[in-house]
Structure 1
Amino acid sequence: MSTTLEPMVEVRGLTRTYGAGPVSVHALREVSFEVAPGELVAVVGRSGSGKTTLLNLLGGLDRPDAGTVRVDGTEVTGLDDQGLSALRRDSISFVFQTFGLIPALTAAENVGVPLRLRRTPVAEREQRVALLLDLVGLREHALQRPAELSGGQQQRVGIARALAGSPRLLLADEPTGQLDAETGLSVMALLRAVVESEGVTAVVATHDPVLMSLADRVLTIADGRVAG
């Protein structure tokens, strides 16, 4: 009996072009690859190579001109807006370079936002938030607002929030891009740790060689194509 796991992410012939005619930009050209469950994959390439476009297509934030994306057995490219919203609520989470926290909310409240959207019971929500703040080392900062936290702490809150709904797939776009080297290293080590402790699959766009070394695999994008 085969024990081969189905891919968490399956990309086939993915193509995305912006604009038309001589000013068109071929962001992705017939890209195909798979990501196994529990794998941390780093997507690397120079600025403008298509890394962010790829993540947006994986997460259903953009639609391709051609090709398909399947996440956890669901064909993302075939979903309508309602289906995409449900997928992002239940299966896919994002970590952004700019943190994306709500300024008026405390760290704990920011982490709890996805659980509020899912109408998770209060006691269960508070327990999950406390666990995640522990996981990212911010238990003592639960009541602080983003402006009272350092950049590295804000990104840790962002990671905790992304994990709140127990996603199957975590997409991170240059998560250390606004952090100094030492803080970035701690955040990257945290990403590696949460992939293992939460059993989540992660695709991370990065230019940081340390994160590449922590990844299970590196995909390089050049001229809209993937190698490696």
Structure 2
Amino acid sequence: MTESSSAQSGTAVVDDASRPMVRIENLHRSYGTGAAAVHALRGVSFEIPRGELVALKGRSGSGKTTLLNLVGGLDTPDEGRITVDGTDLSELGENGLLELRRDRIGFIFQSFGLIPILSAAENVGVPMRLRKADPREREERVALLLALVGLADHAAQRPGELSGGQQQRVAIARALANRPKLLIADEPTGQLDAETGLAVMELLRAVVRSENVTALVATHDPQLLGLADRVLELADGEIVEA
């Protein structure tokens, strides 16, 4: 059925552009049982519109990493609902979650997570190899992404030959390899000095615009928070500012 015929028959047509990229509803997550239980998240709810860079702030232990792991399908909640790009994560089995993480979500970590024996270009190409992308497509995409993050001249260098800021730029390029709809970054500037961290955060903001993606970034750096479209604050597992 075409969109026009759906409209004529009275069936509502969902516009992807108007649907939030992420919808979190009454999310709870605890670890342990009884008096020793740690309540990492307590009834968290929010939405992230498509194309926004949203910063998540909060002290250590506030629940930031737990929330990112849940949104990214790396963990499951005790209660509540997570919808990413219109997909309810609770309806996906392990294979479905794997495909979601491979095809629609890009992850950026504080520790970079690059493979030491591979060049920058080879590291960026890893997700596309896992997807069995055409080699020519892979090479063109890798070249484009390295140029996007300002590392076109460093394609053949291994992580140990790059600075921390350059390694994180490679990690950002790798996260974009499979054209994800959502980027999830956990303290991506935590191992970088202030100037380099600001440059990386500015790059993330530019990437959100140029690649038309949505980003959820956990950071505690006040200077970096100013680059976000919106800031959410977690305290004791609850959203206290939205």
The two structures have a TM-score, normalised by structure 2, of 0.92
Give distance in 1, aligned partners of 2:128 and 2:205: 23
Q: Quote the residue 1:135 is aligned against.
A: 148
Whole-angstrom CA distance in 2 between matches of 1:2 and 1:118: 29
Contact 2:61–2:236 under 8 Å retained in 1: no
**2:73, 2:97 within 8 Å by CA — same for their partners in 1?**
yes
Aligned length: 228
Matches within 5 A, 1:38-117: 38-117=51-130
Q: Deviations over 1:100-126 (max 9, x none)?
A: 001111000000011111111111110
Post-superposition CA distance 1:53-86 (Å, at most 9, x none):
0000000000100001000000112211100000
| Equivalent-residue separation in structure 1 for 2:90 and 2:106 (angstroms) | 17
| Paired position in structure 1 for 2:170 | 157
Q: Does the CA-based 8 Å contact 1:173-1:206 persist in structure 2?
A: yes
Please tell me the root mean square deviation across aligned C-alpha atoms, in Å: 1.3
Q: What corresponds to 1:222 in structure 2?
A: 235
Q: 1:223: how far off?
A: 1.1
Q: Contact 1:60–1:77 at 8 Å: present in 2 too?
A: no
Distance in structure 2 (CA, Å) of the matches to 1:133 and 1:180: 22
Is 1:200–2:213 an aligned residue pair? yes
Secondary structure of the 2:114 match is: coil
The structure number with the bigger radius of gyration is 2
Counterpart in 1 of 2:47?
Answer: 34
Counterpart for residue 26 of structure 2 = 13
SS of the aligned residue for 1:178 comes to: coil
CA deviations 1:92-151 (Å, max 9, x no partner) are 110000000011110000000111111111111100000000000001110000111111
Same amino acid, percent of matched pairs: 68
- Separation of aligned partners in 2, 1:171 and 1:136: 17
With 3-12 and 80-89 compared, the bigger mean Cα shift is at 3-12
Q: Which amino acid aligns with 2:202?
A: A
Q: TM-score, normalised by structure 1?
A: 0.98
For the 8 Å contact 1:97–1:174, the answer to whether it is kept is yes
SS in structure 1 opposite 2:18? coil
Q: Distance in 2 between matches of 1:64 and 1:2?
A: 27
Equivalent residues of 2:233, 2:239 under 8 A apart: yes
Structure 2 CA distance for aligned equivalents of residues 211 and 74 of structure 1: 30
One-letter amino acid of the structure 2 residue matched with residue 31 of structure 1: V
